[in-house]
C-alpha cells in the first residue's frame, strides 16, 4: 500500500469536523498525514479542490514539494501527476491540489475569490489570525457535493500565532 497511517493519524483521517488541528512536535508525521489525506479525498471525489499552504515557498520546498512527485508516481499511472512549474497536482478525475504560500498579509488577496473544498494550513502557528480567517473563508463546496468544505491545520505548539491557535482550536 502507498500509505499506512500510524495509529495516532487514523482519527485525523476519519474526522469530518469543519475545523481540525493536528498539534505535535517535529517528526510526528503531520505534513505527510495532511498531504496524504488531501490525496485520498481527491481520489475519492471527482473535482475535489485542495489548497495546501505554508507561510513561505521555501518551507513548501522543504516539506510537501520534495515528496509529492514520488507519492503520485507510487499511486501508479492514470491517477494523476505533479507539475513542478505550477506546484500543483492534477488528478485524472478532475480533482486538484494547489501548493501555495502566504508570506505577507497582502498575499491573502490571492485567495479572496477562490473556492476550495479543503484548505490545509501546515504550521498554522506561523500564520496570523487575520491570514487564517481570511483564507479559511474560501473553504466552500457546492451544495450538492457529497462532502462539506473543511479546514485542516497542523502545527508545532510554538510560533507567532500560537496564542490565537490555541484559543481557536483548543
Tens digits of pLDDT across the chain (170 residues) = 789 999 989 999 999 899 999 998 887 889 999 999 999 999 999 999 999 999 999 999 999 999 999 999 999 999 999 999 999 999 999 999 999 999 999 999 999 889 999 999 999 999 999 999 999 999 999 999 999 999 999 999 999 999 999 999 97
Apex 139 CA angle, 65 and 16, nearest 5: 90
- Quick one: which of 74, 82, 83, 78 has its CA closest to 93? 78
Instruction: Name, in order, each residue with C-beta under 8 angstroms of 82's C-beta and a sequence gap of 6 or more.
Output: 68, 69, 72, 88, 89
Instruction: Name, in order, each residue with C-beta under 8 angstroms of 108's C-beta and a sequence gap of 6 or more.
Output: 102, 130, 131, 134, 135
Query: Quick one: DSSP state of residue 107?
Result: G
Q: CA 23 → CA 3, 12, 106, 159, distances in Å?
A: 21, 11, 27, 12
- Quick one: which of 118, 161, 111 has its CA closest to 140? 118
Strand partners, 99: 52
Strand partners, 118: 50, 150
Which residue's entry shows cell 497582502? Answer: 106
Q: pTM of the full predicted structure?
A: 0.96
Half-sphere exposure of 52 (CA within 13 A, CB side): 28
Q: Distance from first CA to last CA of the chain, Å, rounded? A: 34
Which residue's entry shows cell 483521517? Answer: 13
The torsion angle over the Cα atoms of residues 125, 86, 150 and 63, rounded to 10 degrees, is -40
Amino acid at each position: 500500500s502507498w500509505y499506512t497511517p500510524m495509529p495516532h493519524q487514523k482519527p485525523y483521517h476519519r474526522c469530518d469536523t469543519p475545523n481540525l488541528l493536528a498539534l505535535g512536535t517535529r517528526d510526528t508525521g503531520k505534513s505527510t498525514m495532511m498531504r496524504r489525506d488531501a490525496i485520498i479525498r481527491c481520489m475519492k471525489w471527482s473535482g475535489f479542490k485542495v489548497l495546501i499552504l505554508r507561510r513561505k515557498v521555501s518551507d513548501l520546498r522543504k516539506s510537501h514539494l520534495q515528496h509529492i512527485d514520488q507519492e503520485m508516481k507510487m499511486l501508479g499511472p492514470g491517477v494523476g501527476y505533479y507539475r513542478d512549474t505550477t506546484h500543483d497536482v492534477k488528478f485524472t478525475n478532475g480533482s486538484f491540489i494547489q501548493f501555495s504560500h502566504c508570506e505577507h498579509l497582502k498575499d491573502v488577496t490571492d485567495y479572496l475569490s477562490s473556492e476550495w473544498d479543503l484548505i490545509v494550513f501546515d504550521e498554522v502557528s506561523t500564520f496570523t489570525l487575520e491570514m487564517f480567517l481570511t483564507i479559511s473563508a474560501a473553504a466552500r463546496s457546492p451544495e450538492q457535493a457529497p462532502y462539506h468544505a473543511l479546514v485542516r491545520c497542523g502545527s508545532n505548539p510554538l510560533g507567532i500565532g500560537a496564542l490565537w491557535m490555541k484559543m481557536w482550536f483548543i
